[in-house]
Amino acid sequence: MSIKRRILGPIIFLMLIGVVGASWISLAAVQTQNEIEHADSETLRTLRATERAQRILEESKVQLHRFLEFNSVTHPSAIAMQQQKFVAAFEDVWAEVRAAEGSQRQKEMVARVEQQFNVWNTEASIALGLIPDSQVPSHSRLNQLAERLELSLVALEQQVRLSAAQANQTARRGYIRQVAVVFVSMIAIFLLAGSAFLGFGSQLAASLTRLGTAMERIRSGDYDTTVRDLCRQDEVGQIARGVSAFCHTLRDLSTAKSRIEHLALHDQLTNLPNRRALQEHLSDCLDADHKAKHRTAVLHVDLDRFKQINDLLGHAAGDEVLRHAARAMLAEIREGDMTARVGGDEFVIVLQDTKDAAQVEALALRIIEAITQPIELWGEFVNVGASIGIAFVEDTEKDPARVLSNADIALYVAKSEGRGRASFYNDATRARFEGNMALLKDLRAGLDNGEIMAFYQPQVDGRTGEILGFEALARWQHPERGMLDPGVFITLAFEHGLGDRLTATIVTQAIAAMQDWRKRGLPAPNVSVNFSAKQLRDGGLVEFLDDALFAAALQPEDLNIEVLESVLFGDGVDPALNTIAKLQKRGYKIELDDFGTGHASISNLRRFKVDGVKIDRDFISGVDQDAEQEMILRTLIDLCRNLDIECLAEGVETEAEMDKLLQLGCHKFQGYGIARPMPKSAVEDWLEDRRDTTSMARAL
């Protein structure tokens, strides 16, 4: 039963009891009043009848005395008539008295009075001669009978009044009893109902108190609180079930909130703190660092060759590498230190209370060694390297971003010095970094303003002097620093996403130059352009080159693609190798640049055959004076000949070097001994001069 019914039911019942009791008392009062009024009416009528009887008796006595006077002579018929009249009147009155209600005593007295009247009437009739009798009563006898009758009437009158009083008292007592019964009954009912209601109220209060206590515990965060009264089918049960459901919801929300807070401060992949958590932790370290005896060190860790693994083996392999790196770093740091993942393959380690730079450097080298350990992924062993930039928190430093920037600058230096090493931040590294950033800003502006231009270095046949082609090399006409070689800005451009724009600029200028030279009848068999492994992994490179050559009405064989031999370091699933295969299929010539200095093995060179190789200048310079170097160069040239790969020598500067190369079987040259890299206009003059010189030589 619902609480509403359990509350309203007793109240309505008590109201009905009250109404019934009041009605009962009211009816009893009305009934009593009616009884009293009826008794009073009967008494009054009886008293009036008694009074009339007394008057009749007086009149009878007077008439009897008059008839019995000595000198009074009345006709017997008149006396009889008159006497009969009195008797009839008395009997009528007495019939009314007999019909009146009264007590048993009153009825007995009425009968006695009637009997006494009959006796008096009989003897009076004898005395009047109306009834013949030998014994005539005396006058005194009749008076005695009359007085006795009068006394009986007076007694009757008193009895009537007494009976009326007793009837009134009895009616009132009956009313009082009824009122008492109703009152006691109502009190008993109210007590029972009140007790039941109090019991229910106490139970309800206890249930509500338990619910209130449970809700207070839930409000304070105790979501494991036991909620009772769940099985009740009333409103308390509904509230209890609602509180329980609300508790479960809050528990789920609390768990979700904790999870969200954890996710907001942690990396999902490695479960390491993220950049936000790192900044908060570093801010706390900066506040506490001024009070500590030792300084706080920040290590910015970046994985080497991670992009290559991610591209070759997929993102799942990359994720495993990141987890491996996270485990390796966590294994090396102390309990109070922090390792956070702040980017794709970038991590930051915060070391508190470091003693000196040597301790931090030793830890950094251990971390690099641990990360470099090979890991097995799906049956293959892969490994990545790591570079680390280290910055100490200075006493005056209060900006976490500045500390991270210092470590990032040190990392930039470590990567630029060959990767796989740790580098400390100092004022010189910041100056170098800021200089590079300023140069990068100028490079972006230079690409927009057309300051990047292609210089061309000729490639010739050492036997005939024939022009074999040109290599297009990037130069930057800086508005303030003058002409800059590619070594100043090429690496910077590729590290910051400008390599594609730079290469596209060189390719566009090289195609336009070759197109112009051919229109003017100048010898321009082809142009070689360098492409990085990252560009070769771009699926749109082939389409870009096809569209550029088609617009210039040139063919794929007019453009040679130069790649570093480190591209062959990957396996057959490397997108760069797939792109090279597509380029060869379309007719582009693939040349391996700086051959002999990279990571390619002879087996890789045999497995993935290129169209030509360019032997690095380190093997050419001074070959005419070094027998051991000559042997190495001979081996490289013979290798190319045996594999049917064209061979070109870079960095040729002297006649002696040319002669030695010709003796060893290499007749394709490129270097300062032939010509320095030149702008397009200088190439045209050089070709004109060379054509004139060749014509004169032939004429002689």
> Which structure tokens are listed for 485?
């070689």
Contact 371, 303 (CB under 8 A): yes
For residue 412, what are the contacts with CB-CB under 8 A and spacing of at least 6? Answer: 389, 429, 433, 436
CB atoms closer than 10 angstroms to residue 652: 26
Tell me how far apart the alpha carbons of residues 222 and 213 are, in angstroms, rounded to a whole number: 11
Q: pLDDT (tens digit, 9 = 90+) per residue, 229-262?
A: 777 777 777 787 777 877 777 778 878 887 887 7
Tell me how far apart the alpha carbons of residues 674 and 620 are, in angstroms, rounded to a whole number: 14
What one-letter code names the amino acid at 297?
Answer: A
Residue given tokens 């990567």 in the structure block: 415
pLDDT (average), residues 622-635: 89
Residue 506 has pLDDT above 90, yes or no: yes
By percentage, how much of the chain surpasses pLDDT 70?
A: 87
Q: pLDDT (tens digit, 9 = 90+) per residue, 638-654?
A: 988 888 889 999 999 99
Tell me how far apart the alpha carbons of residues 44 and 415 are, in angstroms, rounded to a whole number: 136
Residue 700 has pLDDT above 50, yes or no: no
- Which segments within 360-510 are labelled E, that is strand? 375-377, 380-382, 385-392, 422-424, 452-461, 467-478, 482-484
Is the Cα torsion angle 688, 691, 696, 697 positive or negative in sign?
A: positive
Residue 290 has pLDDT above 60, yes or no: no
Q: pLDDT (tens digit, 9 = 90+) per residue, 450-473?
A: 999 999 999 999 998 899 999 999
pTM of the predicted model as reported, rounded to 2 decimal places:
0.56
Architecture of the CATH domain 3-192: Up-down Bundle (1.20)
Tell me how far apart the alpha carbons of residues 451 and 497 are, in angstroms, rounded to a whole number: 18
Rounded to 5°, the CA angle 633-639-643 comes to 150
- Short-list 165, 149, 152, 150, CA closest to 42: 165
Indicate the range of 126-140, 320-334, 626-640 predicted with least confidence. 126-140
CB atoms closer than 10 angstroms to residue 273: 22
Q: pLDDT (tens digit, 9 = 90+) per residue, 83-110?
A: 777 777 777 777 777 777 777 777 787 7
Tell me how far apart the alpha carbons of residues 174 and 29 are, in angstroms, rounded to a whole number: 10
pLDDT of 1: 58
Q: How far is CA 169 from CA 93, 102, 155, 160, 437, in A?
A: 28, 14, 20, 14, 123
Alpha-helical segments (H) within 128-138: none
pLDDT (average), residues 207-220: 80
Tell me how far apart the alpha carbons of residues 115 and 113 are, in angstroms, rounded to a whole number: 5
How crowded is the C-beta side of 330, counted as CA atoms within 13 Å?
A: 12
Q: Determine the distance from the C-alpha atom of residue 234 to the mean position of all C-alpha atoms in its chain, rounded to a whole number.
A: 33
What is the rounded average pLDDT for all residues in the chain?
A: 81
Best-predicted range by mean pLDDT (43-47, 482-486, 597-601): 482-486
Indicate the range of 11-15, 549-553, 659-663, 668-672 predicted with least confidence. 11-15
Residue 397 has pLDDT above 80, yes or no: no
Structure confidence at residue 680 as a pLDDT band (50, 70, 90): very high
Kindly report the CATH number that applies to the domain delimited by 266-425.
3.30.70.270
Helix (H), strand (E) counts: the chain: 20, 16
- Short-list 492, 463, 487, 461, CA closest to 474: 487
pLDDT of 5: 66
Residue 307 has pLDDT above 60, yes or no: yes
Structural class in CATH, domain 438-566+577-596+605-698: alpha beta
